[in-house]
Every structure is written in structure tokens, then in C-alpha cells.
Amino acid sequence: MAGSKFAYVRNFELPDPLLPGTFMVLRLDGHSFHRFSDVHGFAKPNDVRALKLLDHAATDLMDQYPDIVLGFGESDEFSFLLKKSASLYNRRHAKILSTLTSHFTASVTFRWSTYFPDTPLQYPPTFDGRIVLYPGIKEVRDYFSWRQADTHINNLHNTAFWALVQQGGESTSQAHSTLKGTQSKDKHELLFTRFGVNYNAVDERFRKGSVLVRQQEQQGSHPDSPSPEAKAKANASKPAVVILHCDIIKDEFWDSRPEILSG
């Protein structure tokens, strides 16, 4: 069809397909959340409301995009794994990246007041996003191990840091110097001896992050709707997204969910 004399500009829009048969990992990260968390009075080191808000936005995204087989969230970031065979938007890079980032961001704002009923939004939160392609299972597993190891390292540090400030009465610069050069075991020791905190008993949400997977509802898991019709309906419906706070570095998680890496 002949276009207008202007239509040639369309030729400057180049295709940007993502390599077929590779795993896509989309990582979103809050833009300047150092400031955003201050302005909105997030609890330190971890604000459960903020973490649950991001979990909810991630669940919304996974409900909308069945190609996402795994989500992992910590701090102000979320990573999503799309199955190798994903063909959404013909694997157009900009389309996928912009649409999913926008969806997640919109959900965070949409759900804000549910998690922060007494804290009006001062300005719109925004997220940056990137998609990285991984050729194989090893790289995908190492990617998620990297993020969860990061969660652990940061949370241990932040827990020790804020204990020194909030309970120990140190200034932030004193706390920085107290922790300078300390190893992981020193921080465990400091938390236990000075503040009576057994780090391994700290909420798993903070230590391990949030792991979102699809799980078929089990029969009888709905005590409030025990009718056979309700059960049949639950079992026929698509798997629900569930939020776990479990280890994803060791084999067990992956071995018990082969579908995550198989598609």
C-alpha cells in the first residue's frame, strides 16, 4: 500500500529481535530508591510494606505474562526469567523491555495505597530495566545464585549496620568504620554478642528475598470452598503465582521444579 510521502521514515525503525532459543532475564531496578525510600519513610534496613508491594507488582506481571516462569525480588529490584521458547511480541527487544517495565511500574503505583495507606506518594516511582540473554541452564542458575548471594551479603551488612546505629547508638560514619574489613562471620558474631540477634533467625524474606513460581493448587487447599465443583475448578485453572522465601542456590529448588528450565 502506498503511504504518504512521509512514510519512508518508517524504514529507520530497525528490527531488534532477541536471539531465539535463549533464556531471557529481565531485571528491573528502582530508579534512585535511595532517595525514594528516604522521602517515603521506609523502615531500615528492610521495609516489609515496600517488599510486599514489589512482590505484588511482580505477581501482576507474571499473571499477565505466562512466559515468565520465575521471579526473584530483593531490595528495589526484581528479576524475571522467561522460558527459552518465549515468543511474546515476536521477541522484539524494545517492545518486551518497555512493555514489561511499564507494566511493573504502573502496578507499583496502582497498588501503593494498599501497602502504604498512610503515606501519600510524593512523586511517581520509576524503574530501569534490562534484558540479558543466557544460552544455557548453568548461566541462568548462576544468575539467580548471584542475585540471592547479593541479597544475603547486603542484608547481613545492613542488619549489622542498622543495629549499630539504632540499638548501639553509633553514628552512621562510626558504624561504617566498625564494620570496615569485617567478614561475614564477624558480623554474625557482632549481631549475636552485642545485640542478641541470631542472624539465621532473621525473617527469611530479608535473608533470601522473594521467589515467585507458578504452582498448581493442591486438592483440599481451600478449606472454605470444599465443594467438588470448587475443587475441580481450582485444579483446572492455571497455576497460581506463589511467593516463597527459599534457597535458590542449591539444587533442591530446581530439581523439584524441572518445568522452570525445561520450556
Residues forming contacts to ligand DGT in the complex (CB under 6 A) are 29-34, 37, 42-44, 46-47, 50-51, 75-76
CB of 167 to Mg ion, least distance (A): 26
Straight-line distance from the first to the last Cα atom of the chain, in angstroms, rounded to the nearest whole number? 39
Q: How far is CA 173 from CA 37, 153, 178, 188, 262, in A?
A: 20, 20, 9, 20, 48
All 3 cell numbers of residue 141? 542458575
From the list Mg ion, ligand DGT, none, pick the one residue 7 interacts with, judged by a Cβ distance below 5 to 8 Å according to partner type.
none
What's the rounded Cα separation, in Å, for the pair 104 and 61?
A: 6
All 3 cell numbers of residue 188? 554474625
Beta bridge partners of 240: 215
From the list Mg ion, ligand DGT, none, pick the one residue 60 interacts with, judged by a Cβ distance below 5 to 8 Å according to partner type.
none
SS3 247: coil
Per CB under 5 A, 77 contacts Mg ion: yes
Grid cell 542472624 in the structure block, residue:
199
| Given 26, 28, 33, 42, the residue binding Mg ion (CB under 5 A) | 33
Cβ pair 194, 188 in contact under 8 A: no
Q: Is 33 annotated as a binding residue?
A: yes
Q: Is 80 annotated as a binding residue?
A: no
Q: Using CB under 5 A, which of the segments 76-84, 107-115, 195-203, 210-218 binds Mg ion? A: 76-84
CB of 232 to ligand DGT, least distance (A): 41
CB of 31 to ligand DGT, least distance (A): 4
Q: Is 256 annotated as a binding residue?
A: no
* Binding region for Mg ion (CB under 5 A): 29-30, 33, 75-77
